[in-house]
Structure 1
Amino acid sequence: MNRCLGRALALLAVVLLAGCVGTSVRKPLPSAVDVATAAQAQAARVQWLDAHRDWSLQGRVAIRRADKGGSGRLDWTQRGDCFEVSLSAPVTRQSWRLTGDAAEVVLEGLDGGPRRGADAGQLLLEATGWEIPVQALAFWVRGQAAPGLPQAIIEYGADGYLSALRQGGWRITYTDWRPAAGEVPAMPARVEAERGDSRVRLIIDGWRTGAAP
């Protein structure tokens, strides 16, 4: 093969490669969320949630504040304003149970016997050093703003689901959702609440709506 023919073939290969690159199929970019449609769907969710205030969940939780943290199994039962939250840590074989309503809260499972208070979050902070906004989390965990706090700032993901909520100095992030089933709307599957050096992560394995059987 002479030198001129070799140069011609090389030039032809470059042109063909450039043509292949120019005609390659690109994946479409995710479309921007329609905020109005997402907000309308969220409003319908909240309306349903407000009408069904009895629920329970089972899952796993990881709690951290500064350099102190822990994790374990979580069982949460809510009956209107009344709640029962149980946390068990198989590794340390420790567990505690928090029960109460809008008037009084009782924390059991710690050394020194049960402790009582008017605010679940404050009681947990004083007894364990963990910052967990229990009353607000009862709403945030279901994907809605908590009453009694400043108006929430809400963000939606490209799928139309709630992706983040800012309220009372906390940022609540929703990274996974369970699809709607029957009349029950989509429910969060992974939730993270964070403020300063405090963080609560929840992986929800199961939801139940209505009174316990």
Structure 2
Amino acid sequence: MNWRFGGVVLASVLLAACQTVPVAKDWHERPENKTSFDASGRLAVKQNDKGSYANFDWSSSGKMQQLDVNTPLGNTVGQLCQDAQGVVAVASDGSRFEAATASELSERLMGFAIPVEALDVWAHGHWHERSPHTVLEDGRLLQDGWVIERQVNEEGQPRLLLLESEQLSIRLLFSQYQSPSTLPDTEVCERSA
């Protein structure tokens, strides 16, 4: 009986290994029209062997994007909104912070820059035009000091986005993706008076 059980377990492991999602190696210049989408999933940030995990809800109208970071129970711990005027972050206690870019804001609040303004571009297989880039031999993208790897599902939609720098490792695992977005047709984030 143990042999049968072991055989079933081994066969299951081998089948699961055969169904891994391949790395998407096709990077392209960013199109003029930005992608509109709604997505959710799990976010992991690792720094010096210490990790933090959260869930995310992410919406982009193409002109404005909003990222909510949630606890596993669904409570929002922070919200980031980015538009042409800059970025606004709102903490769970209602504190508001503003900056020209998300990288600048994360540097100020956390001590290191997270390239939030480039995440949607990289997730969709594009490099951004603000700085030089290199596509490495293994198909990963090198830009702004980050090595970016992405995986897509059968429909070509983002499945995994992995960013690594000297300081951080950031992993976004998409559990849901819908295009176009259901975000209201607005172009600006709500700002304090």
**Distance of 2:112 and 2:46 partners within structure 1:** 7
Q: Structure 1 length normalisation: TM-score?
A: 0.64
> Which structure features the higher share of helix residues?
1
Residue 151 of structure 1 deviates from its aligned partner by 3.0
1:84 Cα deviation after fit: 0.3
Equivalent residues of 1:63, 1:130 under 8 A apart = no
Give the alignment partner of residue 108 of structure 2, picking from 92, 104, 126. 126
1:14-38 residue CA offsets vs partner (Å, 9 max, x unmatched): xxxxxxxxxxxxxxxxxxxxxxxx7
2:54 matched residue in structure 1: 72
- Contiguous gaps of at least 5 residues in structure 1: 1-37, 157-162, 181-185
Note the 1:61-210 alignment, pairs <5 A: 61-66=43-48, 68-90=50-72, 95-109=77-91, 113-129=95-111, 131-155=113-137, 163-174=139-150, 176-180=151-155, 186-210=156-180
Q: Which one has more relative contact order, counting CA pairs under 8 Å at least 6 apart?
A: 2
Aligned match of 1:30: none
Structure 2, unaligned runs of 5 or more: 1-24, 184-193
Q: Give the superposition deviation at 1:100.
A: 2.0
Distance in 2 separating the partners of 1:74 and 1:146? 23
Query: How does the TM-score come out when normalised to structure 2?
Result: 0.70
Deviation at 1:153, TM superposition (A): 1.9
Q: How many residues align?
A: 159
Counterpart AA for 1:79: S
How far the C-alpha of 1:54 sits from its partner, in A, is: 1.0
Higher Rg of the two aligned structures:
1
Aligned to 1:11: none
| C-alpha RMSD of matched pairs (Å) | 2.7
Q: Which consecutive segments of 4 or more residues in structure 1 shift more than 6 A? A: none
**SS of equivalent to 1:80:** coil
- 3-state secondary structure, aligned to 2:105: helix
